Chains A and B, each alone.
Chain A
Amino acid sequence: MTDEKSLIEGCLKGHESYQFELYKRYAGKMMMVCKRYAGSKQEAEDFLQEAFIRIYDKLHTYQHSGSLEGWVRRVVVHTALNKLRSRKYYDDIHEEMPVVDHTHVDVMSGFGEKDLLNMIAALPTGYRTVFNMYAIDGYDHAEIAEALGISEGTSRSQLAKARATLKTALEKQKKTIDRAYQTR
């Protein structure tokens, strides 16, 4: 397997085999990232394609300070955000007062990736984006606010609502699973 350094060098020189190697290495993981941000599979594929074009275009700016995967992930997330922004997907984000979140979830994490992805996909775009950025990709509210052009308060409220919606969905899902086990 090609090491990271020579992989980057090969891509920068425009060698197609290296570019394809990079794609193969990260496309699977990044597709999952795109699926989280997108509302549909088709949209996720669109994000991924655009993101990789951008990755090859901007690879010379990679500073080798962090992992390549982390850099690629950031590019993918930002591409997804840009695409969403260009399509005005944030129309459903409104300035609202922050809601104090007291929800507590007592569910086992026995759900599959697909179940969780479906739950996220069912969220409104604003909730979904903020939740993805905060809960999964590790951005803080200040970064989210800057990236999405909203206030930090809005970001917090969107997150709280997303959590509440997901909690309900998780509990509902768990009940369905439990019932299925009982009937066996």
Chain B
Amino acid sequence: MLIRRDEHQIDKVFRKKLHDADGESPLHLWEGVRSNIRKKRRVPIFWWWLTGAAVIAGISFFGYRQNENHVAEIAQEKTTSFDGNSENAITPNQIDQEKLNDSAATETVDKEKSVASESAIPQRSSTSSSVDRKPKKSNPIGISQKKSIHERSSDRLTIESSTTDAFFDEVLVAFTESTVDPTIDIAQKASEQSISNSPTTESALKDEILGGSNQAWGTSPNTASHSHWTENRFMVGAWYSMLNPVRKRTSLDNSGLIDLNRRTNPETEKGFGIGVGFRVWKGLAIWSGLEKTMFEEKHLWKDSVDVLYYNTTVNYEITYPIDSTIPVITAFYDTTITPYREEQKEVEVNKYTSLNIPLYLSWQQPVYRGLFVSVETGPVFRVNSQYKGRFVFAEEVESDFSNLAADNHPVIQKEYIHLNEYYREWKMDWHAGLSVGWMGESGFGWSVGLKHRRMIGNTGSDHQVAHRILSTGFNIGIQYRF
């Protein structure tokens, strides 16, 4: 406590009494403080998550672009090595130019001619039957590869050629029948043949270039046909979930939260969502979308009162004594006791609805052919609403041992109070899922799996009893990769 030399008498009086005055801690204010701290703490979690997701996406996209360039470079190097002379390496620009220029075609044919003259007899390769077959897919690395293949085809004609009369005949026919320069046709056929033999996907090319041990992710003898794993980046999907919500009820008091009980709800939480995904790296994808979930709880309270109904009948008997003329009236009371049980019932209906924005990270791992397993986790930002309503009805029922009088039918009175919005609030869940599925060659796939959601914090915290909802259940989904 600071004491001034010039301290005034009044200051001294007040300072002495009030500076270190201690009162009772106003514990009832703690809840307000606590909820405010939690709110403040939650906001950065969202932004950190969003930032993290953006960084991952950025890095992955950068890596993807780098990889694309790298593959193109490798392809170009491969072309050079086929030529055996780095000076003959052909750039994509040159190829474009060449493609448009007839003279280039002629040049190629000249080369063919010189090859033909050097080699004994040009031979049709063993896969000549596929000459007319068009490549199934467009070349992912562009014309440079095509050019390299073109060059390679020439080399193959030179090096690998052996005698086959059929091909020679075909060449002769082309020479005689074609109205255009037949040499171009030969070059085209050779080129097409080469393309048909060449790798048609980036992954396959990479595989050939880098060797079998460096096979691209997602491709294997069993999964190679599914280029969706390696080539397609975008996904759209829809899912339907059936979860079993367990509501952990907590009571708010000044010492924080005290668990009261867990209430397992017999009704399932049903949810439907649609979303989009982006594959950032190998099987890693970011998903987001919109989901609507809903579940309803009914709580029944019973209160019974046993009531005894007395039914008394009186019978009179008039007798005349021998010595008297005055009649004697005797009353006989016959009492029947009928027990009834009156039941007061009240059904409280709680309807929980949420509009959710999930933000998942998922990993889909191809296992065998189209079969894959998938794990996913991430936050679900949700707007929770709870509606409350109740049925109240009283019922008179016959107890097991009673004799129900004919005129005492059970009476049922019902009163229904409509559902009113109880609260609406922003909350966050943490979601985790594990599923298996099948991805077809068309890009369509489906999955089934398990799902678990856990509420971060409490819902309805402004009320006397707060809730934390944990849900576990099944999930089915469809997706399309493109």
Contacts and interface: CB of A to CB of B under 8 A. Distances in A.
Interface residues of B, number: 34
B17 A111 contact: yes
B8 interface: yes
Contacts of A27: 25-27, 29-30
A158 interface: no
B256 interface: yes
Interface string B229-260: 00000000000000000000000000110000
Contact of A116 (B13, B23, B27): B13
Contact of B10 (A35, A49, A105, A137): A105
Contacts of B133: none
Interface residues of A, number: 44
Interface in A42-95: 45, 48-49, 52-53, 56-57
B22 A32 contact: yes
Interface string B246-276: 0000000001100000000000000000000
Contact of A163 (B4, B8, B33, B34): B8
A29 B33 contact: no
Given A104-B9, A120-B14, A20 B30 contact: yes
Contacts of A116: 13-14, 17-18
B317 interface: no
A120 B255 CA distance: 33
B40 interface: yes
B2 interface: yes
B427 interface: no
B264 to A, nearest CB: 26
Chain B binding surface SS class: helix
A116 B37 CA distance: 34
B173 to A, nearest CB: 83
A177 interface: no
Contacts of B41: 14
B21 interface: yes
A9 interface: no
Contacts of A134: 11
A49 B28 CA distance: 10
Interface string A103-138: 111110101110011001000000000010011111
B456 to A, nearest CB: 12
A7 interface: no
Contacts of B14: 116, 120, 131, 135-136, 166
A113 B16 CA distance: 10
Given A17-B256, A19-B37, A53-B36, A109 B13 contact: yes
A172 B12 CA distance: 18
Interface of B: 1-2, 4, 8-27, 29-30, 32-34, 36-37, 40-41, 255-256
24 contacts: A23-B33, A24-B25, A24-B27, A31-B23, A35-B23, A36-B18, A45-B26, A48-B26, A52-B33, A56-B33, A103-B10, A104-B9, A107-B13, A111-B17, A116-B18, A117-B18, A135-B10, A135-B14, A136-B11, A136-B15, A138-B2, A138-B4, A170-B10, A170-B13
Given A27-B25, A56-B33, A57-B37, 10 more contacts: A29-B23, A31-B25, A32-B21, A45-B29, A52-B33, A106-B9, A109-B12, A112-B17, A138-B4, A167-B10
Report the 9 A-B pairs with minimum CB-CB distance, sorted nearest first.
A138-B2, A135-B11, A27-B25, A105-B9, A32-B21, A28-B25, A109-B13, A52-B33, A28-B23
